[in-house]
Amino acid sequence: MIELKHLTKRYGATLAVDDLSFSVRPGLVTGFLGPNGAGKSTTMRLILGLCAPTSGEALVNGRRYASLRRPVHEVGALLDANAVHGSRSAYDHLLCLARTNGIGPRRVTEALERVGLTGVARRPVGGFSLGMKQRLGIAAALLGDPGVLIFDEPVNGLDPDGVRWIRDLMRTLAAQGRTILLSSHLMSEMALTADHIVIVGKGRLIAEATVAELTARYPTLEDAYLTLTASSVEYGAGRS
């Protein structure tokens, strides 16, 4: 599981993440919502040890990322689908990741199959659509068969078939007992995909509830989101 304890990250005058505490539990898809600039990506980067907290901590399976013994087998992530070498093939991209982490080539083939890229595996990634790059990023996240998965806006750039595919994949991964943290701005899709919702605004926790609780109190998840984040903007106005 993932645990955030008073996690705080300051960039100069900006409090990107402000005393954030919540847990992401196994067996569930946790939707991570908030307006642009709310601190979602920074939180994910802090969990993955890509930047250091100003104070507080983020733990994966009870440890800071840097002290995980076999990180790719414990946590997989897709943060930026474009962060790939354009001249490398999908297969070679994954093979590099696999080789540097002691993972065999069979797992690369399986991951490509899992995301539906087998037919284009030998083509340079530079010619891939954003949706295909998202699929490649998901394959990379799944390479080490980790129990914890973090996906930042994986639905961006996907066609309706791809959107449905992501939904089914997230549900399947959670049903296998994995811990899934997923950010997206597509509220209708999130309502169908997630079990649990965490909403942040200006780096702070606004709400933590099940989708069922939110849709019992508001007509739709989108209404819940818009209402809760609107009041946070007022509350948070002038914070730095």
What is the rounded distance in angstroms from the CA atom of residue 16 to the CA atom of residue 130? 27
Which residue's CB is nearer to ligand ADP, number 37 or number 102? 37
CB of 69 to ligand ADP, least distance (A): 28
Which residue's CB is nearer to ligand ADP, number 146 or number 201? 201
Under the binding rule (CB under 6 A), the answer on residue 229 touching ligand ADP is no
CB of 187 to ligand ADP, least distance (A): 15
What phi, psi does 96 have (nearest 5°)? -60, -50
CB of 151 to ligand ADP, least distance (A): 13
String of contacts with ligand ADP for each residue 33-62, x by CB under 6 A: -x-xxxxxxx--------------------
142 residue type, one letter: L
Residues 7-36 that bind ligand ADP (CB under 6 A): 11, 14, 16, 34, 36
CB of 115 to ligand ADP, least distance (A): 24
